[in-house]
Structure 1
C-alpha cells in the first residue's frame, strides 16, 4: 500500500512542519486538532478566505460521531445547540427509531455543519495549529522522508511547505487527489436536488420526515430554532446546478411529495446541486493520505457524508501521531491500516446511501414493489432494523480482526463505566485505555509504549476481562 513514489527528487531541506492538512472543513479540522493536541506541528492550507459560511448542506450528526466528539470534550456543547431527533419517517409507513441505541447519544443531532466547524476550529487554534487561509495547493511531490507542497496565495504568497506527512481533506474536487494522480471512479446518481432553509407555519414535529410518490421526493428536518432544512427532488425537472431556484419550486415539490408544504416561507438559503457516488481506490499513497469527501462522495440519503469524514479523521490521527512520536512498533503497517479499515466503510456508505436514494426514486411498479418489500422487512424484522440503524448511526461499524482474535477485537467500545470515570472522558487524553479488574496484571497480545496508555479499572467488581481500547474508541484486543 505505502509503495515508493516513482519520480520524486529527494528534498535536502528539513520539514518545516510534521503534517500538512489541506482543507479546513470538519474532517481537516478534527484531524489537525488531534495532531496538534498530541504535541505535533500542524499546518492547515485552505483555499477559502477565513470565515465559516453559515449555510451548509450537512446537518445531521449521528451517534458514533457524537461519541468521537465526546472524546474531544465537544459533544455536550454541540448537543446543547442542536435538536436531538429519535425517529426517521420514510415512505409512509417506515419509521426507524434510534432511541434504543446503546450509546450516550441515542438520537440524530440536527445542527448546521458550521456549528461543528466552529467547535473544531476553536479546538485546533487552541492547540496551536497554523492556518494558511486563501492558499491553494499547486503541486505535490514526495520522497522517502518528506512531502513537499507548492502553494500560492494567502498572506505568505507563493511558497513551498515541507512536512513528514500530508493529508488531503479538501473535498470532492481535491487538489491533493489530482496531484497524486489517483482516479475517482463512479457516476452521478441524482441530479437537481434542491435545498432550502425555511420557516414553517405548520410544524411537522421534531422528527425527520421523508417521502414521495416516486417522481418527486422531499424531506423536512428541524433545526430546533424555528428553521427547517428542506430537501427535494423532481424527476420531471432535471436542470443544471446553476439554474435559478425559487421558493415556489421547493413548495411545489414538498406539496406533491408530503401532501403539504406546511406553510413554508422566509427562505434564508436556496441551493441546487447534484450527487455523485465515487470512491478513490487508495486512501494512502506514500506519505500522503486522503480523507472525507476527497476520498469518497455519495448521495445525501442517510446524512452520512460529514459523519464518515469525521470518523476517517479520528481513525487516521492517532496512527499518524503514534508514528511521528516514535511509539508505533510497525509504522508502515499501522499507516496502511487506515486504508484497510476505512476504505470498506466508505464502500459500505456508498452502498447504503445509494440504496436509500434508489428506494426514494422508485416509480415503476417493479421498483415500488421492491421498496414495499424492503420497508416491510425493516418494519417487521427487528434484527434488520437494528442492523440498519447501527450502520447509519455508525455504532455498528466494526473493523476486521486477525483470525483467532477475541470476538470484541475491532468493535466499537461503548462508554464503559470505570472507577476513574467514563471511558470517553479518559479517551480525551488521546491515549490508549487499558481496562482491567482492580489489582490485576493485564495480559494481552501487546501493550502500547509506557506513557501512551491510561490504566483503568471496571467500576463493577463482577467484570473480570481485560480490554485495550484504541484512542479512536475501538477495541485493540480483549481477554476473558
Structure 2
C-alpha cells in the first residue's frame, strides 16, 4: 500500500470492474491513482457475469487472465427453445480458431474482488467515498476534485492530471460537466432477475449451456453461473425474463431521466413463486423448480450514449459513456475494452513518450464511440426481436433464430460475434494506418496467436531455459509498449534478409523506449544460436563499449530475436498469420531477396500498421507513420 498524497496522475471515480481494471493498468505502468467509490467494498452481487473471449485476451495481455479463470465457470455452448421445445444448439467449437473458444461465466463479485486485491497490494481504494465536484481549467495542469468521505461527510481536495468517470449510467463525472449529454431512450418494460438453485428431472437439458427460451408470453434466459458472491454452488442459475412486451418510453430526445439498471428500491419485490410461474409458462416442456434464491430483483433497460467520451482532462469509460440492453452480455466487456483502450494512451502521455498528446488522447473517443454505437444498435435490434409479441415478428424471429443456430457459417459468425472476436478498430482512427487492399494482415485487427517460436539466443546462466519457446502473444504481451514485428522468414534457397540489422539499427535510433523490436527469422537462416555479430557490434557502439551496459543490453535484446520452425507448412505460423507466405509463394528463381513483413502492434494488441518491406525506404516510410504520435 502506498502512502497518501494529494496530487495523482489520475483520479478514477468508480470502482466497479471497469474502473478497477483501468486503475490496475495505470498502476502497473507506474502511475499514481486515486480511485473512489460510494460502495462499502466490492459488490456482493453476481450482476454482470459474462466475460467474452476478447476480454479474456485483454486480461491475458495484462497478465491476469489466470486469476479470473480461477473464478470462472465455462459453458459449452447455447441452446434455443421455442415454445418450450428445443429447436437447435450452437457449440463453443463452432467459433473456429480462438484462444478462448468458450462462454465464460464469472460473477461480478468475483471479478471485482480479484481486481481489488491486485490493486490493494500497491494502492488504496477509497470505498464509501464519493466525488462531489471537480474543476478543469486550461490555465492549470491539474484537475481539482472535492471528495466526500463516509458517513461523517468529511471533505478532501485531491488533484490529478486527469479524471476518469467509471461511475456508471448515473455518472457524477458526466453530470458535473453541462456540455455532456446522455441521449437515447428508456424502456418501459420491467425485467425480472433471479439467481436461484434449479432442480428437477430436466436439469441435464440445460446444464453447462446458455439457454434461450422464446415463448408467446415472453422470453426467459437460464444461464449457469454456479457461484454466488462467496462460494461455488452447483446448479446456481441466472434467470432473466421480460414482464411484458418491450416498449420504448416516449420521451423528448434530451430526456434526463435515466432508469437504467437494477431497481435498488424494488417496491414490487420479485418472489420465488413468481419465478417458478415464469418457468412453468415459458419453459413448459421442462420439469424445473427454482429455490434457495441468492438474489431476486427487477431492472430496467436504457439505451444511451454520451456525446463524446472526452472533455479536456476528463474522460468517460463503461456505463458512464454508454448503456444498453444486457442481451448478449456485451455491456461490461465493452467497458473493459474502453479501459484497455484509454490506459496505454494516457500512460504514454504521462510518460512523455508521445509526439502528439492531443492526437493520442482524442483517438480514445474516435475509436470507442463507433464500438459503442455498434453494440447499442445490435442489442437494441436483438432485444426488440426477442421480446416482440407481434405475430409477424414472432414468425420472423423463428426463422432468424433457427437459421442462425442451424447453418454452419451463421453459427460460426454468431458465436464469434457473441465472443467479440470480430472486433476491430475504427478505420478513421488517426493512429491506425489502414489502407485499401492491404498486402498483409489488415491494420485495425487484433493480433492473432501463432505457433511456438524458439528463442534465438541460448542462455548459459539458466539451465532450465536452455531452449525457450513462446507463442507470439507470450512474447509481446504485458509490456505497455508497441511491438515492431519484423518477419523475414523465407525458403532456405534464399539468403537471409540484408535489411534485418538495418531495421534493428533504425528502430534503436528513431525512437526512445516506446517500441520494442521482435525479429523472427527462419531456422535455417540462423547459423548460430546467439545474437548476430552485427547486432552485437551495434549494441557495443550504442553502449559506448561500457562492459556493464553491454552485458545488460545484450541480455535484454536477446528477448527480441526468435526463430520459426516451419513457416510454410504450419497453418498457425507467424509467416502465414500475418499474410507474408502468399508473397513468398510468388517469388521465382530470379528473385534475389524476397520481401519481409513489418507489423506494428499497439500495447492493446491491435495492429496499427502493416507493410511489406523490400527496401530501406519502405522501413523509413513505416517509421514516418509512427512518428505522428510516438517518440
The normalised TM-score by structure 2 is: 0.69
- Confirm or deny that 1:34 pairs with 2:25: yes
1:98 aligned onto 2:92 = yes
Cα distance in 2 for partners of 1:72, 1:261 equals 44
Q: 1:429 aligns with which of 457, 479, 490?
A: 479
Residue of structure 1 equivalent to 2:298: 272
Distance 2:266 2:414 in 1: 31
Equivalent residue number for residue 250 of structure 1: 275
Distance 2:70 2:405 in 1: 31
Of the structure 1 ranges 59-68 and 184-193, higher mean CA displacement relative to structure 2 is found in 184-193
Question: Is contact 1:251-1:261 (8 Å) kept?
Answer: no
2:108 alignment partner in structure 1? 113
Match of 2:8 among 17, 28, 43: 17
The alpha carbon displacement at 1:183 in A equals 1.1
Cα distance in 2 between the residues matched to 1:15 and 1:466: 44
Q: 1:140 matched to which residue of 2?
A: 134
What is the aligned partner in structure 2 of residue 75 from structure 1? 65
Contact 2:39 2:129 in 1 (8 A): yes
Distance 1:299 1:467 in 2: 37
In the other structure, the counterpart of 1:286 is 312
Partner of 1:6: none
DSSP-derived class of the 1:428 partner: coil
Q: Contact 2:190 / 2:298 at 8 angstroms: preserved in 1?
A: yes
The separation in 2 between residues aligned to 1:380 and 1:208, in whole angstroms, is 16
**Distance in 2 between the 1:352 and 1:136 partners?**
34
The within-5 A match list for 1:216-365 is 216-224=218-226, 225-226=233-234, 227-235=236-244, 241-259=266-284, 260=286, 262-365=288-391
CA contact (8 A) 1:419 1:457 kept: no
- Could you say if the C-alpha distance between residues 474 and 442 of structure 1 is closer, same or farther in structure 2, counting changes exceeding 3 Å? farther
Larger Rg: 2
**What is the alpha-carbon distance in structure 1 between the residues aligned to residue 346 and residue 225 of structure 2?**
36
- Mind listing any 5+ residue stretches in structure 1 that lack a counterpart? 1-13
- In 1, Cα distance between equivalents of 2:287 and 2:145: 50
Residue aligned with 1:450, SS: coil
Does the CA contact (< 8 Å) of 1:86 and 1:106 recur in 2?
no
Q: Take 1:241 and 1:106, find their aligned partners in 2: how far apart are those partners?
A: 37
Aligned to 2:34: 43
Task: Judge conservation of contact 1:436–1:442 (CA < 8 Å) in 2.
Answer: no
Distance in 2, matches of 1:289 and 1:262, equals 46
Q: 2:147 aligns with which of 134, 148, 151?
A: 151
Partners of 2:42 and 2:116 within 8 A in 1: no
Please state how far the C-alpha of 1:39 moved relative to its aligned partner. Answer: 0.8
Q: Is the 8 A contact 1:18 1:41 kept in 2?
A: yes
Larger RCO (alpha carbons 8 Å, 6+ apart): 1
Residue 134 to residue 375, structure 1, CA distance change in 2 (3 Å): same
Task: State the 1:75 CA deviation.
Answer: 1.5
Contact 1:212–1:256 under 8 Å retained in 2: no
In structure 2, C-alpha distance between the alignment counterparts of 1:423 and 1:243, rounded to whole Å: 53
Of 429, 443, 446, 1:409 maps to: 443
- Measured after TM superposition, the shift of residue 478 of structure 1 is 1.4
Partner Cα distance (2:403, 2:379) in 1: 18
Q: Deviations over 1:391-433 (max 9, x none)?
A: 3212111113345264510111122344452343331222222
Shift of 1:160: 1.3
Match for residue 122 of structure 1? 117
CA distance in 1, matches of 2:473, 2:425: 19
Q: Does structure 1 retain, via aligned residues, the 8 Å contact 2:6–2:157?
A: no
Secondary structure at the counterpart of residue 219 of structure 2: strand
Q: CA deviation at 1:43?
A: 0.7
Between the aligned partners of 1:252 and 1:65, the Cα distance in structure 2 is 35
Please tell me whether the aligned partners of residues 16 and 42 of structure 2 are also in contact (alpha carbons under 8 angstroms): no
- Note closer, same or farther for the CA distance 1:452–1:119 as it changes in structure 2 (3 Å cut): farther
CA gap 1:64/1:101 in 2 versus in 1, 3 angstroms: farther
Note the C-alpha offset of 1:383: 4.3
**Which of the numbers 143, 155, 164 marks the counterpart of 1:167?**
164
Count of residues paired in the alignment: 465
Structure 1 residues 56 and 376: CA distance shift in structure 2, 3 A: closer
Q: Deviations over 1:442-463 (max 9, x none)?
A: 8699999432333324453522
Describe the shift of the 1:156–1:272 C-alpha distance in structure 2 as closer, same or farther (beyond 3 A). Answer: closer
In 1, Cα distance between the equivalents of 2:365 and 2:216? 37
TM-score, structure 1 normalization: 0.90
Root mean square deviation, CA, Å: 2.7
Distance 2:364 2:49 in 1: 26
Structure 1 residues 91 and 442 mapped into 2: Cα distance closer, same or farther (>3 Å)?
A: farther
How far residue 273 of structure 1 moved from its aligned partner, in angstroms, is: 0.9
SS in 1 for 2:270: coil
